[in-house]
Structure 1
Amino acid sequence: MTLASTMPGAEFPRLGSEGLEFRIHAPGAHQVKLQLPGDSLGSGSVPFSPEPDGFWHAVISDPAVGFHYYQVEIDALTTNDPGSRTYSGYGRSVSGVEVPDPLEPFELRDVPHGELRSLWFRSTVTRSWRELWVWTPPGYDDDIDRHYPVLYLQHGSGEDETSWSRQGRAGIIMDNLLADGAARPTLVVMGSGYAAAPPSTPLSAVDSAMIIDGLQQLLADDVIATVDRQYRTITDRTHRALAGLSMGGRQALAIGLRRPDLFGWLGGLSPAIWQRGTTDAVWSVEPTWIEDAVRAAGGVRPQQVFLSAGTLEERFVTAVDELAGSLAAAGIDHKSYLSPGTAHEWTTWRRSLTELAPRLFR
């Protein structure tokens, strides 16, 4: 079975009778390995077996459903698989493979589909041109008098504004939800979460405060105004949501609680609320953080905060539980969701978006 993530004309990667198969042409190589980052397909490496004519073959017998990053190690060289499409992850372009399951909410269905649009703007914060990817629901151009709520959706560490659409299939998820009458027609805006000035600042030098403060300023000064000017939006806080995964989940919760005047709905999907280099949850170390944020915002609270994690990412499950307790203590309405049998991976976040979107703007 040819996969959606396989390059046109390529035979591998594919789903075969033995499982998920990879085939690499590396004549003269002494050793070839499949490098896996962990969490979804596994961790470590899977050896390829040599075949005639310089080809090498590897199989993962029982692959998990969903999207998975990987690379290939040929002797001392780590590279991408020429048979696979590449995606923005880990701060670089890496190979990815999509293992389908028709029962999952992120698979293509024969329903009306929205459109993904590119919007460039000049940022006063980063002093650079930046791109937003904007998903518009089916029929957006048919009724020019209709205005829409907006979900600002942030990616994880090392990813970019393309990630939620490509790896996350956000548009497909929204299409399916709308077709089922489960969600309200909504604009989904996806931009880069790295907003340090100048824009040439390497990711390794961008600290936690810069990630949060920079994006907060970018959203408040540039992004929201640009989207409201270019699209037919409902411009009050109760029709504006901010959510994200991992790093983006931390950004969404921190910024949203600071600026409830901008965002009425928040979502933290596997929110990475640890200090760099530690395993301690920031808000466990500072249990009054949320109460302090509400107090600083004049007592204004979000309409609702959505939290999620995969059951296999244990420290994120702990974080979600602790955050839920802190939100309850601060009198903030919240909902939690755990994705069964998944880890820190795109299936967790795809399912989480499927749970989050129907709760927004109700």
Structure 2
Amino acid sequence: MEVRGYIKGQEAEKAVFDRTIKLAPDDKPAFNDPPVGFRNKRDNIPHGNVSPVQYTSKALGQLREMLVYTPPGYSRAKRYPVIYLLHGLNSGNGQWPYWINANTIIDNLISEGKIKPMIIVFPNCNTNVTVNNPKPDEQEERKGGYKGYGLSFQNDLLQEIIPFIESHYSVYTDRGHRALAGLSMGGGQSLNIGLSHINTFAYVGGFSSAPNTNQFGGLSDAKLLPDPLAAKHKLKVLWLACGTKDGLFNVSQRVHQYLKQQGVPHVWHVDSNAHDDIEWANNLYLFAQHLFK
């Protein structure tokens, strides 16, 4: 039985890393592309602030740093929903604001009245990194592949980062005002953590998710969806997206197919992009407009 299980696991792993893309009829765009200039900084609108924030992580035994975006006009007299945005394997917490222009995308959407003002938290998903490491927008060395970015970061996010944000910023503290999303490795982390903690997050998104994603019959013995019934009835938005030029397309496609088999409602947005900032910026623009309704 152990040999059969090992062979099955090997076959599943091979399938996940198979770069051959075979499109099904429902592998298509769910929405139109964003308008031209949607992530360009505009001089005639108010802008939010992105600031480095240090915190002591008891879960990791480290002094760590995250970046926090506060929207234009942020006031302690109001309360705000929060998006936690996770970066990819070879980048730090500066990937979203400094390369993809996440804060500018949100500034523009707020100015157009398309979304409510919100706070964005950019954690460092590499649990080996402390505040003494290189600047967050510089590439980081791979340490242990995807294996180094699992439960240790989950514990840091759930036990340290979220409580810190909720005690230091004027934010809502219920699941209905909390979203988790990420790109590549961060997409896998978002699906793994979000779908295992539906009582914590009402909105979950994986953009170009990497093979660290827990998949049914995939790389991990852990199931992607511990509680399908809760996912069906409690998740307000579950978002999967990937481009057909992405070598990791099959990861998201397999997750979509599994969720479809389980009858879990979700967005499956397939476009023609690659594993790049265009894909991730487009999906943040679209995803943000479905939050906190």
Structures share fold, TM-score greater than 0.5: yes
Give the one of 156, 160, 163 matched to 1:218.
Answer: 156
Name the CA shift for 1:248/1:103 in 2 (closer, same or farther; >3 Å): same
Provide the C-alpha distance between the structure 2 equivalents of 1:209 and 1:225, rounded to a whole number of angstroms.
25
Provide the C-alpha distance between the structure 1 equivalents of 2:248 and 2:127, rounded to a whole number of angstroms.
27
Give the one of 307, 315, 321 matched to 2:253.
Answer: 321
Name the CA shift for 1:199/1:283 in 2 (closer, same or farther; >3 Å): farther
Matched, 1:343 2:280: no
Provide the C-alpha distance between the structure 2 equivalents of 1:298 and 1:333, rounded to a whole number of angstroms.
8
Residues 41-93 of structure 1 deviation map (CA, whole Å, 9 limit, x = unaligned): xxxxxxxxxxxxxxxxxxxxxxxxxxxxxxxxxxxxxxxxxxxxxxxxxxxxx
Structure with greater strand share of residues: 1
The secondary structure found in structure 1 opposite 2:283 is helix
> Could you tell me how far 1:227 is from its partner in structure 2?
0.4
Matched, 1:132 2:66: yes
User: RMSD of the alignment, in Å?
Assistant: 3.0
Residues paired across the two proteins, number: 252
- Aligned partner of 1:76 in structure 2 is none
> Could you tell me how far 1:191 is from its partner in structure 2?
1.0
Name the CA shift for 1:124/1:203 in 2 (closer, same or farther; >3 Å): farther
Structure with more relative contact order (C-alpha pairs < 8 Å, separation 6 or more): 2
Matched, 1:150 2:82: yes
- Which consecutive residues of structure 2, in runs of 5 or more, have no partner in the other structure? 1-34, 133-139
Is 305-314 or 265-274 further displaced after alignment? 305-314
> Could you tell me how far 1:299 is from its partner in structure 2?
8.3
Provide the C-alpha distance between the structure 2 equivalents of 1:197 and 1:163, rounded to a whole number of angstroms.
15
Name the CA shift for 1:208/1:288 in 2 (closer, same or farther; >3 Å): closer
Indicate if the aligned counterparts of 1:137 and 1:175 stay in contact, CA closer than 8 A. yes
Structure with greater helix share of residues: 2
TM-score (norm 2): 0.76
Provide the C-alpha distance between the structure 2 equivalents of 1:126 and 1:192, rounded to a whole number of angstroms.
12
> Could you tell me how far 1:218 is from its partner in structure 2?
0.4
Name the CA shift for 1:297/1:123 in 2 (closer, same or farther; >3 Å): farther
Q: Runs of 4+ in structure 1 displaced over 6 angstroms?
A: 197-200, 286-289, 296-300
Name the CA shift for 1:197/1:156 in 2 (closer, same or farther; >3 Å): closer
Name the CA shift for 1:328/1:107 in 2 (closer, same or farther; >3 Å): same
Question: Which amino acid is 2:50 matched to?
Answer: L
Name the CA shift for 1:179/1:199 in 2 (closer, same or farther; >3 Å): closer
Give the one of 183, 191, 198 matched to 1:253.
Answer: 191
TM-score (norm 1): 0.63
Is 324-333 or 147-156 further displaced after alignment? 324-333
Based on CA coordinates, which of the two structures has the bigger radius of gyration? Answer: 1
- Aligned partner of 2:244 in structure 1 is 311
The secondary structure found in structure 2 opposite 1:260 is coil
- Which consecutive residues of structure 1, in runs of 5 or more, have no partner in the other structure? 1-101, 276-280
Name the CA shift for 1:299/1:354 in 2 (closer, same or farther; >3 Å): closer
> Could you tell me how far 1:196 is from its partner in structure 2?
5.1
Provide the C-alpha distance between the structure 1 equivalents of 2:125 and 2:219, rounded to a whole number of angstroms.
24
Provide the C-alpha distance between the structure 1 equivalents of 2:69 and 2:175, rounded to a whole number of angstroms.
20
Provide the C-alpha distance between the structure 2 equivalents of 1:354 and 1:291, rounded to a whole number of angstroms.
26
Question: Which amino acid is 2:99 matched to?
Answer: Q
- Aligned partner of 2:32 in structure 1 is none
- Aligned partner of 2:55 in structure 1 is 121
Matched, 1:167 2:167: no
| 1:25-174 equivalence runs, <5 A | 103-109=36-42, 110-141=44-75, 144-174=76-106
Provide the C-alpha distance between the structure 2 equivalents of 1:304 and 1:350, rounded to a whole number of angstroms.
18
Q: Percent identity?
A: 29
Is 116-125 or 289-298 further displaced after alignment? 289-298
Indicate if the aligned counterparts of 2:53 and 2:66 stay in contact, CA closer than 8 A. yes
Provide the C-alpha distance between the structure 2 equivalents of 1:198 and 1:287, rounded to a whole number of angstroms.
28
Indicate if the aligned counterparts of 1:290 and 1:326 stay in contact, CA closer than 8 A. no
Is 300-309 or 229-238 further displaced after alignment? 300-309
Indicate if the aligned counterparts of 2:185 and 2:212 stay in contact, CA closer than 8 A. no
